[in-house]
Amino acid sequence: MIITLKQTNTFKDNADVRRLLVSLHVDVIPVEWKSQSLYVVNGKFSELSRREVAKHSGVEAILPIDRPYKLASKTFRPNNGKIKIGNTLLIGGREIIIMAGPCSVETKHQIEDMGKEVKNAGCHVLRGGAFKPRTGPYDFQGLGKIGLRFLHDAGKKYNLPVITEILDVRDIELVEKYTDIFQIGARNMQNYPLLRELGKSRKPVLLKRGMWATYKELLLAAEYILVGGNEHVILCERGIRTHVQETRFTLDLNAVAYLKHETHLPVFVDPSHGTGRANMVRALSRAGVAAGADGLLIEAHTDPRKSISDADQAISPQELTKLVKEVKRVARAVDRE
Ligand code: PEP
Ligand code: MN
């Protein structure tokens, strides 16, 4: 259950509510969001205790939630959540938000050139990995700090917010300095210490679904960030492992429809990793938006075949421009923009 506290409360009022709850033998987890202070309560009250809590002058509401994730649930927040990035960008609103760019930041020029293409195509956010979670330790691991700087500078040059992956809890301070949005990759979806630390940040986190993860596991992973006080979490379906050999992963669009019913968090689709094939990316982008996604994460490269990582799924700037046009048409058909 969640107990929301009145906004007019003093620190003492909140402490008073907490004392009452503790006296009723339930676990109390305080959550401090910018928009609201609340207590997540683990345990059950008797009807008598419930009335006593409801009567307390510091309590705004008691919300029973029959899900293991509480803060992520739609019972807690029935309306779709919105995340503002800077002064102009709104994630989770009517507009479909497209984040695009190379899998890896390779050189200063490469990310700058791609920034220009991403802007011209009409996308909203520039992506680029500086810390890469590669399958083998001898594969290109990303440029690290200098890559973050190149990405940040390219974003500034073309007035685009940037998103980049964080792999290691020790890099949070560094990455936070250069990025507007943290990306948690599929492989780190259940890296609980990393999730908890990002809960302390106030920057948005795009959390990718693990290739093995159930919807419940994804939502519980999001809950780790939310409970820390960071209410800006975006979920991302990026494909799961199935018996299908012909594509790198199977993009599970069931996840989009399911999650849109179950959570107020914005839901994105990554058709690049979801298919692993450049010639399928546009089709699955259209399908993702038709299924209800709030945005897309797309891998694109000025010279796709020369991509250092994920070359098979990188699309060209020309394809990206087509994709944006097609997605806008689908968006209008499903009452979005
Ligand atoms: C990526 O976005 O480049 C990436 C590594 O994605 P994922 O975590 O979905 O594999
Ligand atoms: Mn990639």
pLDDT, residue 45, reads 87
Q: For residues 208 and 192, what is the distance between their CA atoms, to the nearest angstrom?
A: 14
Q: Verify that 18 and 167 share a domain, yes or no.
A: no
pLDDT under 70: residue ranges of the chain: none
DSSP-derived secondary structure for 79-127: SPP-EEETTTEEETSSSPEEEEE-SB---HHHHHHHHHHHHHHT-SEEE
Strands 233-237 and 267-269: parallel
Token pair in block for residue 312: 């098979």
Ligand 1 mutation pick, 126, 207, 208, max ligand atoms within 8 A of CB:
208
Pocket test of ligand 1: the residue of 105, 114, 164, 165 to mutate, having most ligand atoms within 8 Å of its CB, is 165
Q: What's the length of the chain?
A: 337
Pocket-forming residues, ligand 1, beta carbon under 6 Å: 103, 129, 133, 185-187, 208, 238, 270, 273
Asked if 124 and 214 sit in the same domain, the reply is yes
Confirm whether 34 is domain-assigned. yes
The whole-number pLDDT of residue 87 equals 87
Query: What pLDDT score was predicted for residue 44?
Result: 87
- Pair (163, 214) in one structural domain: yes
On whether residue 72 sits in a domain, the answer given is no
Residue with CA at minimum distance from ligand 1 atom 4:
185
Q: Is 284 exposed, middle or buried (0-12, 13-18, 19+ CB in 10 A)?
A: buried
pLDDT at residue 34, rounded to an integer: 87
Mark whether 50 and 100 lie in a shared domain: no
pLDDT per position as a tens digit, 225-255: 999 999 999 999 999 999 999 999 999 999 9
State residue 43's pLDDT score: 86
**What pLDDT does 244 receive?**
98
Helix (H) or strand (E) holding 164: strand 162-165
- For residue 69, being part of any structural domain is answered with no
Index of the ligand 1 atom closest to the CA of residue 183: 2
**What is the structure's pLDDT at 6?**
96
How much is the pLDDT for 290? 98
Does residue 74 lie in a domain region?
Answer: no
Q: Mean pLDDT across the chain, nearest whole number?
A: 97
- pTM of the predicted structure, to 2 decimals: 0.96
Domain containing 139 equals 83-333
Predicted pLDDT at 292? 98
- How far, in Å, from the CA of 25 to the mean position of ligand 1? 43
Look at residue 324 and tell me if it is in a domain: yes
